[in-house]
Amino acid sequence: MQRIYGLAFATEDELKAHLHMLEEAEKRDHRRLGRQLDLFHQQEEAPGMVFWHPRGWALWQAVERYVREVYRVSGYHEVRAPLIADVSLWKKSGHWDNFRENMFFTESEKRTYAVKPMNCPGHVQIFNAGLHSYRDLPIRYAEFGSCHRNEPSGALHGLMRVRAFTQDDGHIFCTEDQVQPEVTAFHAQAMDVYAAFGFTDVTLKIALRPDKRVGSDADWDRSEAVLRAALKQVGVPWTELPGEGAFYGPKIEYHLKDSIGRSWQCGTMQIDFSMPGRLGAEYVDETSGRKVPVMLHRAIVGSMERFIGILLENYSGALPFWLAPVQVVVAPIVSDADAYAGEVCAALRGAGVRAESDLRNEKINYKIREHSHQKIPVIAVVGRKEAEQRTVTLRRLGTEQQETLPLAEGVARLEAQSRL
RNA sequence: GCCGGCUUAGCUCAGGGGUAGAGCAGCGGUUUUGUAAACCGUUGGUCGGGGGUUCAAUUCCCUCAGCCGGCACCA
């Protein structure tokens, strides 16, 4: 069979607009920005995986620090589970039956281990290690969980679709009555996070029961209903995707639109009434009986890798100050100001600002051009005048205005902007 | 994974059956500079891996890998 693809436009202007869009998309392609801004690279020996360079990892950590703070204030306990576990665990969890084609395996001393494709079984093990009262619920675990999935080679795409990724994953063990409040609380939190990162075009979907599933129809009826009720309660529109739920339960999906109009699923809130039972999770209820908790799977940014890719494209690499890997470059004009530049840089670092100095023997024009291309948000220019008067002259990316102010004031101002 | 294309210096890219070039970057100098490229000199490549054809392959053929575009997939 032969397929022929084509695009057609009604007018020449529409064609031009389309070509312009493709050009813009290429300029802000996160793979290209990753090279230009020295954030990360990928190489043949590790397809679908990422080597994070110092600047890329600084960005990662800025995202991670913010999300970690969200965990903290919303009652999550951060945990950490092993990256590999005996395959028997994955047989119990159901992953072996459903997804072994997409899992990586390794072996040692005649035992086969699976590299974890999801974090939930690990979190259930942590839950199971103690005895829990209904009074303790909901129990919320969070992890920047490293996962590996053997995605089809043709699906790989920069940071957007990788084989090794890290989820801002969380699992909530709760009673059925607690599901709706947890879902609405999660929603508010997720929307706040998206707004903080600059995303306002978020669409919600509820993925409903698939053909291949576990659990009774009554369970599915209740769990789908509670998701609808939660979204109705918070007053947001959604669309429904019949047949697209996970095999263990329905889910809400949060889709963010990127700068070139592609929509990426980032956040998710899933109800799971299968895995806790399969893996033996239980709590003690009011009557001293044992009950199986409901488990909620949730993520806000989803994959850290993908989310960073979306951030880069959304901002064309010109990240807001609080996320920029290098927030300030201190650039002396003459070598007589080198010592003072070092002092300014140290003061900024002391205040928690990611600052570097550029003492190279280059003209200030050259430095400004280069650091502007590197999308550094603030260039602090110091010449003889600044060194004598103990001031800094700040130049913001994207403007030609400059502002000279006393060193302490400049440091305080940048410090205030350096974190959300 | 499927169909098609691509793979040449750190980056962006020329070139082509007789063992390779540019710009930028890098390095060595000169220059001490006030808001988007100072000047001079110069290093650098097993032309993605393996095999084949040929007197000779980076160039042609086969194969593998990765990447790119699309499709399928995405717990």
As annotated, the active-site residues of A are 120, 149, 167, 169, 171, 251, 297
CA of A162: nearest nucleotide by C1' is B74
Q: What is the pLDDT of residue A276?
A: 94
* Cis amide prior to A117 (ω within 30 degrees): no
The Cα A356–Cα A148 span in angstroms is: 35
pLDDT digits (tens, 9 = 90+) for A296-338: 999 999 999 999 999 999 999 999 999 999 999 999 999 999 9
**Residue with the larger pLDDT of the pair A55 and A6:** A55
Q: How confident is the model at residue A2 (pLDDT cuts 50, 70, 90)?
A: very low
Enumerate the nucleotides of strand B whose atoms come under 7 Å of any protein CB: 1-3, 11-12, 30-38, 65-75
Percent of chain A past pLDDT 90, that is, above it, reads 85
Out of A4-18, A266-280, A378-392, least confident range? A4-18
Q: Is it the case that residue A147 has pLDDT exceeding 90? A: yes
For residues A15-22, give the mean pLDDT.
73
Burial class (CB in 10 A: 0-12, 13-18, 19+), A210: middle
Q: What is the pLDDT of residue A12?
A: 74
- Rounded to whole angstroms, the distance from the CA of residue A355 to the C1' of nucleotide B41 is 34
Q: Is A131 helix (H, G, I), strand (E, B) or coil?
A: coil
Answer yes or no: are the C-beta atoms of A207 and A251 closer than 8 Å: yes
The Cα A147–Cα A83 span in angstroms is: 8
- Rounded to whole angstroms, the distance from the CA of residue A86 to the C1' of nucleotide B25 is 48
Q: How confident is the model at residue A234 (pLDDT cuts 50, 70, 90)?
A: very high
Q: What is the pLDDT of residue A214?
A: 81
Percent of chain A past pLDDT 70, that is, above it, reads 97
- Rounded to whole angstroms, the distance from the CA of residue A184 to the C1' of nucleotide B47 is 58
- Rounded to whole angstroms, the distance from the CA of residue A33 to the C1' of nucleotide B9 is 21
- Rounded to whole angstroms, the distance from the CA of residue A33 to the C1' of nucleotide B56 is 43
pLDDT digits (tens, 9 = 90+) for A183-214: 999 999 999 999 999 998 899 999 999 988 88
CA of A29: nearest nucleotide by C1' is B68
ipTM of the complex as predicted: 0.95
Q: What is the pLDDT of residue A405?
A: 96
How many C-alpha atoms does A217 have within 13 Å on its Cβ side?
1
CA of A207: nearest nucleotide by C1' is B75
CA of A334: nearest nucleotide by C1' is B32
Match 């789908």 to its residue by tokens: A224
Q: Is it the case that residue A44 has pLDDT exceeding 70? A: yes
Answer yes or no: are the C-beta atoms of A318 and A397 closer than 8 Å: yes
C-alpha Rg value of chain A to the nearest Å: 25
- Three state DSSP letters for A13-32: HHHHHHHHHHHHHHHCCHHH
Q: Is it the case that residue A1 has pLDDT exceeding 60? A: no
Q: How confident is the model at residue A182 (pLDDT cuts 50, 70, 90)?
A: very high
The Cα A124–Cα A302 span in angstroms is: 20
Q: Is it the case that residue A86 has pLDDT exceeding 90? A: yes
